[in-house]
Amino acid sequence: MSEAGGNTQIVDFADALSERYLSYALSTIMSRSLPDVRDGLKPVHRRLLFAMLQLKLSPESAYKKCARIVGDVIGKYHPHGEVAVYDTLVRLAQNFSLRYPLIDGQGNFGSLDGDNAAAMRYTESRLTDIALELVRDLDKDTVEFKMNYDNSEDEPTLFPANFPNILANGSEGIAVGMATSIPPHNLHELCDAMLFMLGNKEPGTKDLMQFVKGPDFPTGGIIVSNQDSIFNIYDTGRGSVKVRCKWEREELSHGTYQIVITEIPYQVQKSKLMEKIADLYKDKKLPLVGGIRDESTEDIRIIIEPKNRSCDSDAIMESLYKQSDLETRFHINMNVLNSKNIPVVMSLKIVLSEFLDHRKIVVVRRSKFRLSKINHRLEILLGLQIVYHNLDEIIRIIREEDDPKDFMIKKFEITDMQAEAILNMRLRSLRKLEEQELKAEYDKLLEEKAELELIISDEKKCIAVVKSEIKSLQKKFGFGTNIGDRRTDFVEGAENIASVVNIEAFIEREPISVICSKKGWIRSVKGHLEDYSSLKYKEGDSAKFTLHCYTTDKILFFSDSGRFYTILADNIYKGRGDGEPVNLLLSLDQSEKMLNLHIMNPSTKLLVVSSAGKGFVVDSAELVAQTKNGKQVLNLASGQKAFGSYEALGDMVATIGTNRKLLLFNLSEIPELKKGSGVILQKFKDAKLSDVQIFNRDDGFKWRGARGKEHTEYNLLPWHGKRAGAGKIPPPGFNKDNKF
C-alpha cells in the first residue's frame, strides 16, 4: 500500500492472490502454452515465422544468420529471452522433431543423439516451401492484425494457414492446470479426410479413420496399438499409442545373423537409448544378447548381436521392448484453443471442422479484398477510356488550366479518383493507351468480379474453392513427394506378442542365494550357501531374509501393505558389495515393510494373514505382478497391516494370540481365493494375533519352550477346534512371547 497515493485500499490477500494468479494462468494458456487450432501455432512460433517473412527469407532467397532473425523477433514482437526464441527456431528446423519442418536450417541444428544446436551466430536459416503455405495471402486482409508490445509494429493474431498444421506437425505444451500433446500426422491423409468432410454433412470418426489411420511420426517406427484404441483417441481427444522401433534381421555367414534397428520411436534420444541398453547388457539383464554397437551415420543403424545362432530374434527384441525405450507410449491430449480462444479438448472431427471453417473465412475475406481492388481498377479503367477519346483536350487542360483536376471532373463528369489517376499517368504510358487493351482488361476484370461475388454469396462455391486448394496442396506435399510418404507403419496384434515369448526360458539356470538385509539392501551370490556368517553388510545392518533359488525363478516379495511384488532372480544384483536397495527394483512406499520372500511355484499355495487375524489361501501363480507397482492381493481396512505369508505345506494351522490362547484347526477350513480380505482364523477379545504356523498332523505340532528347547506335541485334541474358535491355554512351558 502506498501512502503517497492518497487512495489506499485494503484487499483480502486470498482474493488478491487468486485474481493475479488467474491472470497469470490465462496469460500462460492463451499466449504461451496452447496452440490455436486454426494455424496450429503458439505466439512465439507465429512471431518467429512472421519476422522471417518480413526479412523476405523465402525458400529461393539466401540464408540469413539466426542471430539476426532472433534479434528481430525479440526487438519487434516477442520481448522474452533470446534462448527461448532460438530454441523454438531450432525445433522448427529439425526434421526429426517436426514432420514437416517450417524452417530450412544451414549449420548444426542438433541431432537425434540429443546434441545441442550450434550458437545462433554460427547457424543460418530461411523458410521452407510448406511454411509459405501458412502465411500465403497474409497481405490480403485474410486475418486480423494487432499492434505489438510497444505499438510500433503490426503483427498478425493468426495465420491464414493453407494446411492443418495442428495435426500435420502436432504440438506439445504445459499450461497452468492443463496441457496439450498432439502427435504429427500425414498431410496426404489429412487432405483426404478434409475432402471427405466437405462432401458429407455428418461424417463420423470411423469415416475419417478410413483416411487418417493414425499418427505419422517424423522418425518413423511402428504403431502397435490396435484400431479400437486409436478410434477412442480420435473420438475423445485423449489416449495413448504404443510405438516400437523398426528393425530387420540381417543374415550373416555360417548361419549367424544380427538385428539391425533402422528407426527408433519419436522423441527418444539415441545416445540415452544406447546408454540404457549398454547398462542392461552390463547388468546381465539381456541374457540373449551377445553384443551391441552403434553404426549410425545420418541414418539409424543400431546392431544387436545374439548370444548364439539359436537365439530367437523376436525373443531378443521382446526383452529390449520390455526394458528399454525401443518401445514407448506417446500420450495424446488434443487440448487446443478454438476460434473463440477457449481451451477445448477436441476430437479429430472437431479439429478438422474448425480448420475448414477457418479456411472458408480466409477465402471469403480474400475474395472481398480482391473485389475491392477490382472495383478500384474498374473505376480507373473507365477514366482511362475517357483519356483515350479526349487525349488532346486533356493535355491542353493540364497545360493551360490553373486547376486541371476540378476542370476535368466538371467537363468529363468523372470521379475524383479517376481524375487523380489521369493526372498521375506518366507520359510514356500514353503510347500504351489502346482502346482494345483497355476494353479487354475491363471485360476480364468484370468476369473475375462476378466470380468473386459468387464465392462471397454462395457457400457451395466457397467450398469448391477450398476443395481445389486442398487438392493442390495434396499434390504438392502428398504421397510421392520428398516429404509426403507415410513413415510410421502399423502392426495389428503386436501388443500381445509379450505373452507368447518367454524370455526366462533362455536364462541359464544357476543356483544362487538371495540375501535381503534389514535396511532393504538385496543381492545374490552364486551357489546355495549354508553359512552366511562370512557375508558383510553396511554398518548397523544385518541379514533379514535368505533364500536358496535359481536364476530362472521368480521371487515373490510380500509387504505389510498386502501387496505381492515380483522380481526375476536373475535380475537381482550380483557380485561383491552390499547390493542395491529393493526400492530400485520395486515401487515401494517409504513406510512399507517387507514381510517375507517366496519362490513362485505353480504347485505351491500360500496362506496370507492380516493383523486383524483374517486370512485366505491363494495359488502362488496368482501372485505374480507384471509391473514394479506390485499386485494388491490382501485387502486391508483402515489402520490394518498384513501380518505374514506362509507356504501351505501341511494340513493343519496353528494360531496363537497375545491373550495366550492357542487354536489348532484344519487348513481345509480356510477358503482359497485370488484376492480379498479373507476369513477369521481365531476370535480374540481384547487381544490380537501373535503367530501362525502350518504343519502336518502326522509330524506333530512343534513349539519352542521357555529356554529355546523344541517340543513336539502329537496329542492335538486339547487345542483342536473349528476355525474362528477362541482357543485354549498352550502346553505348559510355552514361551512367554507367544511365538512358536
Backbone angles phi, psi at 711, to 5 degrees: -125, 150
CB 605 within 8 A of CB 671: no
Q: What is the DSSP string of 183-249?
A: ----HHHHHHHHHHHHH-SS--HHHHTTT--S---TT--EE-S-HHHHHHHHHHSEEEEEEE-EEEE
CB 471 within 8 A of CB 195: yes
Task: Tell me: pLDDT of 176 over 80.
Answer: no
Q: Which three cell numbers stand for residue 13?
A: 490477500
pLDDT digits (tens, 9 = 90+) for 367-395: 999 999 999 989 888 887 877 778 778 88
Instruction: Quote the pLDDT of residue 503.
Output: 55
- Least Cα distance to 199 among 459, 465, 467, 455 occurs for 467
Task: Tell me: pLDDT of 2 over 80.
Answer: no
* Helices 348-389 & 416-423 angle (0-180, nearest 10): 70
Partners of 608 in beta bridges: 616, 645
Give how far the C-alpha of residue 465 lies from the chain's centroid of Cα atoms, to the nearest Å.
Answer: 36
CB 632 within 8 A of CB 563: yes
* Helices 348-389 & 227-236 angle (0-180, nearest 10): 60
Mean per-residue pLDDT over the chain, rounded: 88
How far apart are the C-alpha atoms of 653 and 589, rounded to whole Å? 31
pLDDT digits (tens, 9 = 90+) for 524-544: 888 888 888 888 888 888 888
Instruction: Quote the pLDDT of residue 1.
Output: 44
- Least Cα distance to 352 among 251, 489, 461, 204 occurs for 204
* Dihedral, 542, 544, 548, 549 alpha carbons, nearest 10: -110
How many C-beta atoms surround the C-beta of residue 55 within 10 A?
15
How many C-beta atoms surround the C-beta of residue 418 within 10 A?
22
CB 124 within 8 A of CB 106: yes
Give how far the C-alpha of residue 600 lies from the chain's centroid of Cα atoms, to the nearest Å.
Answer: 36
pLDDT digits (tens, 9 = 90+) for 417-442: 888 887 887 766 666 567 678 788 88
Partners of 181 in beta bridges: 172, 333
Rounded mean pLDDT, 161-190: 91
Task: Tell me: pLDDT of 731 over 90.
Answer: no
Residues identified as active-site: 122
How far apart are the C-alpha atoms of 348 and 49, rounded to whole Å? 26
Q: Which three cell numbers stand for residue 207?
A: 469415416
pLDDT digits (tens, 9 = 90+) for 450-475: 999 999 999 999 999 999 999 999 99
pLDDT digits (tens, 9 = 90+) for 96-121: 999 999 999 999 999 999 899 999 99
